[in-house]
Chains A and B, each alone.
Chain A
Amino acid sequence: MAKKELLKVEGLKQYFPIKGGFLGRTVNHVKAVDDISFTIYEGETVSIVGESGCGKSTTGRAILRLEEPTDGSVVFQGTDITKIPKGEMRKFRKDLQIIFQDPYASINPRQTVASVLSEAMHIQNVLPPDQRRARIEQLLETVGLRPYQADRYPHEFSGGQRQRIGIARALSVDPKLIICDEAVSALDVSIQAQVLNLLEELQDEYGLTYLFISHDLGVVRHISDRIIVMYLGKIVEIADKNSLFENPQHPYTKALLSAIPVPDPDAVKSRIVLKGDVPSPIDPPQGCRFHTRCPFATDKCRTEEPVLRTSDIMKDTHEAACHYMEEISAGKMTPNY
């Protein structure tokens, strides 16, 4: 299958300044995203997973320039959208949409559903105004709501229904890529499954590409083709779904997978409990950022930063950033818990 590049992120950095002192000068930076690169192909679902503060949401927002990235490029269908003027960015936002986590905070409570959706179409000039109403009703049906609900206000809907409105809003401008930033995290499982199924159906129907940002590895395993694991602003592992779950290589990925409670009381557990907390992104550890919690860390890990690379022990599309993955996989390293 020939894969067509849709979005290419290269050397993306997002530093947030910390102001301090008497003059309010920038005294330091939070390095939320620190030099990451990846590619998304047309029609696939790529997920970014990681714990709070790893930079996964910041990455999504930087791609859309909701916050101006500090450095790096984001090439969408051949155009570097970090270099174009702000005004022109609006044109690209037609193709790049986002669905947010909190269905209560991301829709204006004073607008009816119809006006939320027609505003999006108006800004992007999608349809002549007289055809918009029909389109709104059709969109609501697509996401599993009723056309007569178009004139209702957000408070009249449940959390799951509001998330459907958010999806309808994203769809209203015929996007190519939708960034789903923890889009199902606030929902109960029975409703979450409804929304996940809806997202999959829409992808088949409209050929959508998703960048799915989530901390829930169950959701990620269900929906993704490829998965990116982030830790403290860096990508530590990137692989197709099966390789990541069946053959994880980075010690952090392994610990993360083993930490999730399995809904099966008979499951065999070999849990790797990590010591301590995630260090501060203001002053991240030298060398490998995971070395402060890694059971295999050596002096080399403390000084030399590992790069993403593949190896004989994994598929050639699978990459991880660890100095010792071969040794760990061969059982030559002893973990120090």
Chain B
Amino acid sequence: MNEMESILVVNNLQTSFGTEAGEVRAVDGVSFTVPKGKTIGIVGESGSGKSITSLSILRLLASNGKTKGGEVLFKGKDLLKLSEKAMREIRGNQISMIFQEPMTSLNPVYTVGQQISETIKIHKKLGNKEAMSQSVEMLKLVGIPSPEKRVKQYPHELSGGMRQRVMIAMALACDPEILIADEPTTALDVTIQAQILELIKDLQNRLGMSVIMITHDLGVVAETCDYVAVMYAGQVVEYSDVRTLFKNPKHPYTLGLLNSLPRHDVDQEKLIPIKGMVPSPHEMPVGCRFAPRCPVATELCHKKQPDLLSTGGDNSEQIRCWMYSEEWDGESEVTLYGEKRTVKG
């Protein structure tokens, strides 16, 4: 895992928003690595900071948002230190992004072809004609039938699934090395979601790009990702490969998510919800941010914030929980998929 070439390294990223009620730290010390050609999932519930993390990487934050610290190393270059002009060379070219709402991310007054060829003209410095013919090629690549006709159509003439395909075509027009997909299938029906996920996977295999998949859906994670970072209240609480995350999850929050998920493939007696709710960003707990909802929290958890610890020999598994540290005494019992497990400190 260590030998694998990484294309993007996010280190201790800190993003804050100025609000009327004071500063809100939406992302607080997030670190992860994107290996070349692989998919990393960022999973978390609303307000966990997963989308803000991706917007910070591309420097697309709203005007009241500011990245206060950390670094985003893309092939060794810190994106946070680049000039806006240099950043524009990378955005949409080497790193591109697709969003949740294909309806609102496309411009309704331009044809699909005009929108795809805009990217091509800017980054590849091609003329109108060539850009348009490449747009047709892109639409063909993402599986849109009769692309010659479709390039001349407006977004409202397409269905939701077709629009998301157009978004993908636009994002891939300049052969990016990283595709950030922010909840790309959340607004779509499952049968269409299956088509789009299949398409992203297929294109990744053909083009060899890396994907950052941001989602709240653990099913999508299991199916598309190689590595996963679980976020809670602005921090990464667990990072591991996808098999470990589902077979041997460690953080009590990850366990809680898996226990509260109703599944269509197996029968469950009872769901075990996580009690309480996500803390308000204005009143973050002083200790572990999950402590108020955690079934195994101790005094230590409420008092002091745990660091992101490496539990594997290398950095392949990381966890932000006192239960796995040397400070933890004795054994604790946790539940996963209805079975009890014992954790030794």
Contacts and interface: CB of A to CB of B under 8 A. Distances in A.
Contacts of A27: none
A307 interface: no
Interface residues of B, number: 47
A269 B224 CA distance: 13
A213 to B, nearest CB: 15
Contacts of A263: 218-219, 221-222, 246, 258, 261, 263
B45 interface: yes
Interface string B241-266: 01100110000000011111111110
Given A51-B190, A256-B190, A218 B273 contact: no
Given A215-B190, A221-B262, A261-B219, 8 more contacts: A191-B277, A193-B271, A193-B272, A222-B263, A262-B219, A262-B265, A263-B258, A271-B198
Contacts of A257: 264
A245 interface: yes
Interface in A244-261: 245, 255-261
Contacts of A215: 189-190
19 contacts: A188-B278, A190-B257, A194-B275, A215-B189, A216-B262, A217-B264, A218-B261, A221-B263, A245-B264, A255-B191, A260-B219, A260-B265, A261-B194, A261-B219, A263-B222, A265-B223, A265-B242, A265-B243, A269-B223
Interface in A207-223: 215-223
Contact of A196 (B190, B256, B262, B264): B262
A223 B271 CA distance: 10
A52 interface: yes
Contacts of B265: 260, 262, 264, 267
B205 interface: no
Interface of A: 51-52, 158, 160-161, 188-194, 196-197, 215-223, 245, 255-267, 269, 271, 273-274, 277-278
B314 interface: no
Nearest to A198: B273
Given A190-B273, A260-B219, A262-B222, A51 B260 contact: no
Nearest to A223: B262
Given A261-B220, A263-B222, A277-B159, A190 B260 contact: yes
Q: Which 7 A-B pairs have the closest CB atoms?
A: A261-B219, A193-B260, A193-B273, A51-B189, A188-B45, A190-B274, A222-B262
B268 A158 contact: no
B261 A266 contact: no
Contact of B194 (A190, A191, A245, A271): A271
Contacts of B264: 217-218, 220-221, 245, 257, 260, 262
Contacts of A190: 45, 256-257, 260, 273-274
B261 A273 contact: no
Interface in B176-208: 189-195, 197-198
B222 A261 contact: yes
A129 B45 CA distance: 41
A246 to B, nearest CB: 10
B296 to A, nearest CB: 16
Contact of B217 (A196, A261, A267, A273): A261
B194 A273 contact: yes
B262 to A, nearest CB: 4
Contacts of A264: 222, 246, 265
Interface of B: 45-46, 159, 161-162, 189-195, 197-198, 216-224, 242-243, 246-247, 256-265, 267-268, 270-275, 277-278
A57 to B, nearest CB: 14
Given A222-B262, A259-B193, A263-B261, A196 B159 contact: no
Nearest to A221: B264
Contacts of B262: 192-193, 196, 216, 218-219, 221-223
A229 to B, nearest CB: 12
A187 B189 CA distance: 17
A260 to B, nearest CB: 5
A265 B39 CA distance: 14
Given A261-B219, A265-B243, A273-B198, A222 B190 contact: no
A98 B311 CA distance: 49
Contacts of B260: 189-190, 192-194
A266 B244 CA distance: 11
Nearest to A246: B267
Contacts of A255: 191
A273 B259 CA distance: 29
Nearest to A245: B264
B338 to A, nearest CB: 13
Contacts of B247: 265-266
Contact of B257 (A189, A218, A221, A256): A189
Contacts of A196: 262, 271
A190 B46 CA distance: 11
Given A219-B262, A260-B190, A261-B223, A191 B273 contact: yes
A189 B263 CA distance: 11
Contacts of A222: 262-263, 268, 271
A327 B190 CA distance: 27
Contacts of B189: 51-52, 215, 278
Nearest to B215: A261
Nearest to A192: B260
A116 B158 CA distance: 41
A78 B103 CA distance: 46
B271 A267 contact: no
Nearest to B293: A190
A310 to B, nearest CB: 23
The listed residue with most A CB atoms (<10 A of its CB), out of B217, B223, B243, B257, is B223
A191 B263 CA distance: 15
A278 to B, nearest CB: 8
Nearest to B259: A193
A260 B263 CA distance: 10
A221 B218 CA distance: 17
A277 B159 CA distance: 8
B39 to A, nearest CB: 12
